[in-house]
Structure 1
């Protein structure tokens, strides 16, 4: 999958079937998060930096070095990222859809992951010929067999997981605070051998000013 195919699917297959003001849940696949008017990075070519600045009428000179140009870019680039898919959804006629992005590495918060797992399991049970044409046929049949109740069950399961995360969040906040405090106390109260300078250690390995028994 790439952004071009994903964009085509969004515009031709998804948006026409969405109720007005829908919220589209999106994960962090690269083709979901293609940025609109992305600002150059510190590793971008100098020509890309000057082009970006010129398009925005930001004063600069061709004699400036890349670090200087990038300093200007950081000053003027938008504070928040904008994504192409978000704009497509928001400007879809009079519908006005919005995108909700899941936190990274949290597929358990996406109901479609449960549906996808069920779909793969059903196809695997029926796939005896192992041919691409047969797999395509089975996938189509099993997609059509997914019911409203299947979706409702998966959404309810995901909602329970989300509620469990929210219940644990205050406890995690307290625990992380305690860990930081304890580590701070240990590092300030304990004295390591490296705290003594070489001049304080005698040739026999004892500390100067400390009598050996």
Structure 2
């Protein structure tokens, strides 16, 4: 979603099932087929920034940097250590091997999202953790659900899909700007709160320093 509303060719609506649900593979496939048209549409010199939250599928590591899991068999952990050119003690037990692996994790925690971003020349920014109030899509999501609830009279999945598409495609620019301005105002409120907190903390620290100085002066004069 941008200033003018949802990017129509990027919309992905699907039925969530056990075999077809949102995970890193689905998300990256969506990014892959979305990023390229965006770049072609706006040209190579236009800056494109994707702002995402911190869902697990947004932060999946590459196979090379993914750490071993405690559920792995000992042989699998040894294979991981060998792949990363880490010496494996002959008589080490599984717990010791895991400890060695954790102490020698690759420094470059390259994520699949970053890899894809580099190939498409698209920047990526993450929202602060547990700050959904800074995500305008949460407001859009609430509006979409309300529209579906108000107009879903037959309770068929096909109707839900149609209503969701209808709401997104008819979303007015004024409504989008209202969402964005609402989030902007919250961001400004957070900034002012942070600035006030910093001033308050500095004042408290200054008071502590003054008390210490007074105590030192009293000791010197006694």
2:74 to 46, 68, 81: 46
Does structure 2 retain, via aligned residues, the 8 Å contact 1:50–1:62? no
| 3-state SS of paired residue (1:70) | helix
2:84 paired residue number: 56
Could you say which residue in structure 1 is the equivalent of 2:7?
none
User: Measured at CA, do residues 170 and 32 of structure 1 come closer, stay the same or move farther in structure 2, by a change above 3 Å?
Assistant: same
The one of 159, 170, 177 equivalent to 2:184 is 159
- Alignment deviations for residues 118-174 of structure 1 (CA, whole Å, 9 cap, x no partner): 122222222222221111111111111013333222222212211211211244455
Which gives a bigger RCO, structure 1 or 2 (Cα 8 Å, sep 6+)?
A: 2
Aligned to 2:23: 2
> What 5-or-longer segments of structure 2 have no aligned partner?
1-21, 205-222
Larger radius of gyration: 1
| Residues 15 and 89 in structure 1, CA contact (< 8 A), matched pair in contact too | no
Q: 2:50 aligns to what SS in structure 1?
A: strand
CA distance 1:122–1:167, shift in 2 (3 Å): same
Whole-Å separation in 1 of the counterparts to 2:196 and 2:95: 43
The answer as to 2:33 corresponding to 1:12 is: yes
Evaluate the alpha carbon distance shift between residue 135 and residue 40 of structure 1 in structure 2; reply closer, same or farther with a 3 A threshold: same
In structure 2, what is the equivalent of residue 87 of structure 1? 115
> Gapped runs of 5+ residues in structure 1?
179-213
Corresponding residue pairs, total: 178
TM-score under structure 1 length normalisation: 0.71
What's the RMSD between the two structures over aligned residues?
2.9
Q: Secondary structure at the match of 2:68?
A: coil
Q: TM-score, normalised by structure 2?
A: 0.68
Give the match's secondary structure for 1:40.
coil
